[in-house]
Structure formats: structure tokens, C-alpha cells
Structure 1
Amino acid sequence: MRLRSGRRQRTANAPEGPAGTPGAAVELRGVRRQYGRGTGAVHALAGVDLALPRGTFTAVMGPSGSGKSTFLQCAAGLDRPTAGSVRLGGTEITGMTENELTELRRSCVGFVFQAFNLLPSLTVEQNVLLPMRLAGERQDPRRAAEVLARVGLAGKERRRPAELSGGQQQRVAVARALVTRPDVVFADEPTGALDTGTAAEVLGLLRQAVDTLGATVVMVTHDPVAAAWADRVLFLADGALAGGLEGGSAERIAARMTALTARTPGTDAMAGAVA
């Protein structure tokens, strides 16, 4: 993550911990996340170790209940691990206060969700500029126009979300994620509510953010076709890493998922507690 000097000042009080991996945008070391206690405890993450390089597109897959969403939430600072260390761009975030985490997410991280999460009362432009507004930064309509043009929505600035198709709304969500020029974009099932053609367009935008803007994209998905857009696919099972594929086709990814699901029958039992 390309933390600028101002961002380092805002996170200077965070504990540094052991040195991180050079060139890593996202790094997890020994990350565990447990919900509940005793015999009813659910181990959503059971010791995850990984480092994701800057400027790459990583897809994360696994059977239901494997810990995919918990992984994303911990990596993005939306949830705190029970144990272990999380770094964004070399900055240890595990011991940050809630206010520090909020500031970090607003300035350094972008989010794209399956449900779009646009505010219906705001215009497209206002939705795109919302992260800048929340961060207390000057809202620049020219910046909004730039990112909207990049996602193919030039001229839609004054529309409301209800006036757009689902695919267009997700394009607005991608523009909102990119408006602060974030170092990492976390995408949680970003194409789950879209048809095949529209999904491909949105995935192309995420791919473009990596290839032309140098962003780092981390995407949780259940769809092998979506995962095939990534540089690398990581597989989770029972809260732990279960291998990966570099540049795999949709067919190879689907085959790996089928094999993984067949040998982890206990995952469905966890699905109600953790995805």
C-alpha cells in the first residue's frame, strides 16, 4: 500500500510489531478469529499466514462456512482477529483504535459489496464523493467526473441510484471505491447480484484498476468465472488456507473447488455462523 506521508502521521501511534514483508499490500500472520467460547466456539479463521503483493488481483474462494468473509473483514480492519497480526502496506493495524481504523479505511481502502450500498437520496456524484466527504477532504466534482468516465458513466452525475440498472449501480460503487485512489480495494461478492454480461464488465473494471492504476484488489467470490479474472486464487477450508492457483482458468478453478468441497464436509455446518 502506497501510504503517503500524511497517512503515516495519522497512524503513527499504531504498534509496529515485527517487520512486514517488503512489497506486501496486505499481510496476515497467524490470524485467528473465534466466535463464542467453550464447546460452542466457532473457529472462523484458524491461523492464516499470507502476504499479497502490491498491484495484484487476488480472488479468495472456499466452500460455505470456510471463513471467506471473516478473512476479508479482518484483512480490511472491519473485524478484529482473536490472535495474530494484520498489516496494510506495512502498517500494523491490529492494535489501532476504532477512530484510527476508521481514518485508515477512509483514506487507504476502497470497498465494493454485492448489495451496492449506495445511498438512494444522494445523486451518483454525491455517492461517489461520499468517502472524501466522510474523510473531511475537499469534494472535487472533477474527480467524480473522472472516475465515472473511467467506469463508463460519464453524464450520469445527477442521476439517483433508482434511475440506474443494477450493473450501473455497481459501476457507481466501483467509482466510489476508486475515488480516493485507495491502495487496496476489497470486493465482497461484487458480481453476485449481476447477470453474466454485466458481471464481466464490472470485473473488467476491477482488472483495469490493477493494470492501469496500480491498485491492489482482494475479492471474495463463489464464482470460478469471476475468480479467473484474478492473477491468483487462494482457497480457504475450515478457516485455513488450502492452496492456490496462479492464473487459473474458470474450469481449473471450478475443479479445484469441487475437490475441496468434497473433502471438507464439515463446512456447511459452519455456514450459519461464518461465511
Structure 2
Amino acid sequence: MGPRAEHPQTAQGQQVGRPAEPPAVELRAVRRLYGRGEGAVQALRGIDLVLPRGSFTAVMGPSGSGKSTFLQCAAGLDRPTSGEVLLGGEPITGLSERRLTELRRSRIGFVFQSFNLLPSLTVQQNVLLPQRLAGRRQDRRRAKELLAQVGLGEHAGRRPGQLSGGQQQRVAIARALITEPEVVFADEPTGALDTRTAQEVLGLLRRAVDTLGATVVMVTHDPVAASHADRVVFLADGALAGALHGPDPRTVADLLVRLTSAAAGHAGSGHGGTAYGGTGHGGTAVAA
């Protein structure tokens, strides 16, 4: 799989040689602090990042690096302590909880490690659920098309409990795409799957980007999974620690090992971030 051409980006989304179109998601100086006083924990330390439309971005880092907090803030599931998150150029940080809920139902798709399907609903009903919750007409024809695309066209009337784990994750992907969201956030989507099934699910996410024009942001710990993305963004100690374009599993794994070792070395030192470094074979470290 060849890497997609991508231009360096600033926090304001300025790109050379491309039309001035707002990115799918943009984070500006996003910080997230948990707790107060001496016991406070800085989960995110001023993240500036542009996630272009029609791209597949993997987010990686050592345990405790801030990956989950990053996803939650970028998706509007959690509010930054400071900074700003924009969806399609629209600031969402200051929206009411009701407006954020509406936004998540209509403009964002989610895929989780645990599938999160409702066991009492059929496969088709689970796919249609986001439209139902958003108060939109349930497009059964669209649901049928998506199920066919994920290889489950003949399973629409079954219950999730009658499907394998890989099949349930395929349903979750179809559900995430039913509202034609501006961005799909995937949190360890292959963590509960065997290697072959994981590859099939990653292929579906890749095709959603390449054929449907979707934007996918995936948190993962797996270098092989990350290699399906256009770009891998690394976090360490709540700060951006580098990025790889056109990643391959070996290079991703090497850099992740180095970041994990560096994080262990800085444990308890109060170090505020990790410097960008070279990546060796197969990728280029850039300011993310």
C-alpha cells in the first residue's frame, strides 16, 4: 500500500498547493488536566494538530501517553481544560452538552474495541441506530448497502450474539458510516480480534477512506494496524512526540519502543514532553 502524498501542516491548517478547505478535525493548544494541586495530572500538554479530510491517521504512544484522552477530546466526548477543538472548521469546545450530543450523533462515527452493539436489536437495526437517535429517517437501503460492503448482506436479520467477533466489528463499522460522518474515531478496533480478522477490519477502514472519502482517526497499540494509516502520530507524556508518513510496521515498532524507553527513563522526573527524533528506515519524523 503506497503512502498518500501529504503536505506539512500548521496548527491553523495552512497547506501548500491545496485549496483552503477546513480540515476534518483540528486541535489548537489543547490541554487536559485531571485533579488539582500537587496531585494534578496533565494528560494532554498543549496539542496542536490538524487531521485532514479524507485521511487515515493512527495515534500511538506508550501506556499513559494520553491517547485515550486525545481521542475523547477530539471527538467531543471530553472537554479540554484549555485550548480549542474544531470539527470541519467549527469550534466545538464551548458547545452545550445537548449540542455536543447532537453533533456526535450526526457528524461523528465511533468504532470501539468492545463493539457496543445492542444484543436485542438485529444487525440492521444496530446499523440504523445512529439515524434513529439523531431523529433522522432510517435509510434501510443505505444500511443494506453498507452491510453488503462489509460482507454481511445476508446477516441483516440476525442478532449480534449470532455473529463472530469479527462480524460484530464489521457491523460496528457499518453503523459508524450510516450517517456519512465527517470523521470516524476508532478506539483499538482490532484489540479483541485475531490477526486475520483484524486485517479484514483494517481493510474495511482503509477502503472507507479510499472509496467513501471518510476521515478515520484510530488509536492503536499495534504497529501492523498503524501501518494501514496514511500517517502515524505519536504521543508521549501528553505531548506530540513525532509523526510518520507512509508508515511500515517495523519503523512504527522501532519508534514506539524508543518512546516507551524514553517515557520509562523520564518517569517521576517531571519532564514535560518528548523531543522529536529521527525514525530511521521507512519514514520521516515531522512536526505534527
TM-score of the superposed pair, with normalisation by structure 2: 0.85
Aligned to 1:150: 149
Q: How does 1:35-114 map to 2 (within 5 A)?
A: 35-114=34-113
Q: Tell me, what secondary structure is at the counterpart of 1:155?
A: helix
Cα distance in 2 for residues equivalent to 1:62 and 1:154: 37
**Cα distance between partner residues in 1 of 2:89 and 2:45:** 22
Q: Do residues 264 (structure 1) and 260 (structure 2) align?
A: no
* 2:59–2:232 contact (8 Å) kept in structure 1: yes
Give the superposition deviation at 1:24: 1.0
Amino acid at match of 1:187: A
2: CA distance, partners of 1:121 / 1:175: 18
Q: 1:266 to 1:173 in 2, by over 3 A?
A: farther
User: Cα gap change, 1:94/1:158 in structure 2, threshold over 3 Å: closer, same or farther?
Assistant: same
Unaligned runs of 5+ in 2: 1-10, 15-20, 269-288
Q: Is contact 1:235-1:242 (8 Å) kept?
A: yes
Distance in 2, Cα, partners of 1:108 & 1:126? 19
Distance 1:234 1:38, change over 3 A: same
| Structure 1 residue runs of 4 or more that deviate by more than 4 Å after TM superposition | 18-21, 266-269
Aligned residues: 252
Q: Which residue in 2 is equivalent to 1:11? A: none
Question: Does the 8 A contact of 1:65 with 1:267 survive in 2?
Answer: no
Contact 1:238–1:267, Cα closer than 8 Å, also in 2 = no
Aligned with 1:255: secondary structure?
helix
Distance in 2 of aligned mates of 1:267 and 1:214: 40
Q: Is 1:20–1:87's contact at 8 Å kept on the other side of the alignment? A: no
Structure 1 length as normaliser, TM-score?
0.89
Paired letter, 1:250: P
| Inter-partner Cα distance in structure 1 for 2:244 and 2:55 | 14
Give me the whole-angstrom Cα distance separating, in 2, the residues matched to 1:258 and 1:265.
Answer: 11
Matched to 1:208, the amino acid is R
Given that 2:12 and 2:50 are in contact with CA atoms closer than 8 Å, whether structure 1 keeps it comes out as no
Q: Determine which structure has greater relative contact order: mean sequence separation of CA pairs < 8 Å that are 6+ residues apart, divided by chain length.
A: 1
Q: Which amino acid aligns with 1:196?
A: T
- Amino acid corresponding to residue 52 of structure 1 in structure 2: L
Q: Deviation of residue 142 (structure 1)?
A: 1.0
> Is the Cα contact below 8 Å between 1:64 and 1:267 reproduced in 2?
no
| Structure 1 segment 233-252 matched on structure 2, within 5 A | 233-252=232-251
Tell me which residue corresponds to 1:162. 161
TM superposition shift of 1:265: 1.1
Name the SS of the counterpart of 2:125 in structure 1: helix
Q: Report the secondary structure of 1:263's partner residue.
A: helix
| Amino acid in structure 2 at the alignment position of 1:100 | R
Deviation, structure 1 residue 89: 0.6
Q: Does the residue aligned with 1:79 lie in a helix, a strand or coil?
A: coil
Residues 197-248 of structure 1: CA deviation (Å, up to 9, x unaligned): 0000000000000000101000000000000000000000000000010011
